[in-house]
């Protein structure tokens, strides 16, 4: 075949893939359902909606409609693991989208992108380094305190370097979270110490699933860790999976349910880890491939005795 013909075919195919990834798959939202046998024997199931990485801008109407539709699930608890906004104008649309989910018990942490507005850059740089050094501006330029204030005013619990307690459906939940390790704002020492052994569930929440931070949660006895940040790899290779995780976690745990290997000295148990592949993208890398945007409904069930 003539070289020019081959080049033309490759160009058309490339354009088709880019169009699919940025127009179709980026808006092809999925609800993933996952059971986690993490509660004590005999406990009633608890339904947890895990959302992450919306990177919301006011123009993302399909994303907002999907988030709005999640209220129909009527979960018992909502966990938002950060990177909610990508624009100073997104807080109102975010609150509108969450709608009646804000009337349900909820918790949140920030991701670095809640603090720093997105900047253009070569997405391929993640192949050889993470984005941890990308947020080296002196002061955040997004209204992250307003975001947190609005979510707190609506009744959700701020877990940024804080511990908390909730009683949901009669189950006592001990919670702790950190601000984003990826932005060097995690201060685990502020929440360190054994998780309440009397609680039915001990839940740890963080944006970027950095192993050294998760080691500490697990060692303190947290049963289940929820994180986001990875976007599931965002552009995955079919049959191979994620090329990068953009953090310290291995590619095999870039999204979905796994175990974190650190053992708690208190009870000898390891922690479950759920990483959300997230719902959005940076406005400067508006594409997802073989990695649909997702929210997850986790049904926590009793362990077998
Ligand atoms: Fe993100």
* pLDDT (tens digit per residue) in 225-242: 999 999 999 999 999 999
pLDDT of residue 127: 65
Residue 155 zone, left/alpha/beta (φ > 0; ψ -120 to 50; rest): left
Check whether 132 has a pLDDT greater than 80: no
pLDDT of residue 137: 65
> How far does the centroid of ligand 1 lie from the alpha carbon of residue 265, in Å?
33
Check whether 266 has a pLDDT greater than 90: no
Check whether 269 has a pLDDT greater than 70: yes
Of the listed ranges 119-123, 143-147, 273-277, the one predicted with least confidence: 119-123
Of the listed ranges 6-10, 98-102, 298-302, the one predicted with least confidence: 6-10
> How far does the centroid of ligand 1 lie from the alpha carbon of residue 40, in Å?
33
pLDDT tens, position by position, 76-97: 999 999 999 999 999 999 999 9
Find which of 14-18, 106-110, 135-139 is predicted with most confidence, using mean pLDDT: 106-110
pLDDT tens, position by position, 279-298: 999 999 999 999 999 999 99
The protein residues having their C-beta less than 5 angstroms from ligand 1 (an ion) are 53, 83
> How far does the centroid of ligand 1 lie from the alpha carbon of residue 208, in Å?
9
pLDDT of residue 74: 98
Q: Check: CB of residue 208 under 8 Å from CB of residue 229.
A: yes
Q: Which H, E and C letters describe 25-63, residue by residue?
A: HHHCCEEEEEEEEEECCCCCCEEEEEECCCCECCCCHHH
Q: List the one residue out of 62, 58, 50 whose CA is nearest residue 94.
A: 58
Alpha helices (runs of H) in the chain, residue ranges in sequence order:
3-19, 61-69, 91-98, 144-153, 211-219
Check whether 9 has a pLDDT greater than 90: no
Cα separation, 130 vs 180, whole angstroms: 14
Question: How would you classify the pairing of strands 201-205 and 224-227?
Answer: parallel
Q: How far is CA 139 from the centre of its chain?
A: 24
- Tokens 């919301």 — which residue? 56
Exposed/middle/buried for 170, CB within 10 Å: 0-12, 13-18, 19+? exposed
Q: Check: CB of residue 171 under 8 Å from CB of residue 223.
A: no
> How far does the centroid of ligand 1 lie from the alpha carbon of residue 4, in Å?
39
Cα separation, 305 vs 219, whole angstroms: 22
> How far does the centroid of ligand 1 lie from the alpha carbon of residue 150, in Å?
20
Over range 151-179, report the average pLDDT. 97
> How far does the centroid of ligand 1 lie from the alpha carbon of residue 229, in Å?
4
């Amino acid at each position: 075949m003539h070289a020019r013909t081959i080049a033309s075919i490759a160009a058309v195919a490339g354009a088709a893939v880019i169009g699919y990834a940025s127009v179709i798959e980026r808006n092809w939202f999925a609800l993933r359902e996952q059971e986690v046998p993490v509660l004590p024997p005999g406990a009633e199931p608890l339904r947890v909606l895990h959302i992450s990485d919306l990177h919301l801008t006011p123009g993302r109407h399909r994303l907002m409609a999907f988030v709005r539709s999640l209220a129909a699930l009527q979960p018992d608890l909502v966990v938002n693991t950060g990177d909610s906004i990508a624009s100073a104008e997104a807080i109102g649309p975010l609150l509108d989208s969450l709608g009646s989910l804000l009337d349900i018990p909820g918790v949140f942490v920030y991701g670095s992108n809640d603090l720093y507005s997105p900047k253009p850059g070569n997405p391929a740089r993640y192949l050889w380094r993470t984005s941890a050094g990308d947020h080296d501006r002196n002061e955040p330029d997004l209204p992250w305190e307003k975001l947190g204030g609005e979510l707190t005013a609506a009744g959700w619990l701020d877990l940024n370097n804080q511990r908390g307690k909730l009683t949901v459906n009669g189950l006592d939940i001990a919670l702790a979270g950190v601000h984003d390790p990826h932005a060097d704002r995690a201060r685990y020492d502020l929440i360190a110490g054994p998780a309440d052994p009397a609680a039915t569930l001990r839940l740890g929440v963080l944006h970027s699933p950095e192993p050294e931070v998760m080691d500490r949660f697990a060692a303190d006895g947290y049963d289940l860790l929820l994180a986001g940040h990875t976007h599931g790899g965002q552009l995955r290779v079919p049959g191979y999976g994620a090329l990068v995780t953009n953090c310290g976690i291995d590619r095999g745990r870039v999204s979905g349910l796994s175990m974190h290997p650190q053992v708690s000295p208190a009870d000898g148990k390891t922690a479950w880890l759920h990483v959300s592949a997230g719902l959005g993208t940076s406005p400067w890398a508006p594409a997802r491939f073989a990695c649909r945007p997702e929210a997850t409904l986790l049904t926590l069930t009793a362990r077998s005795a």
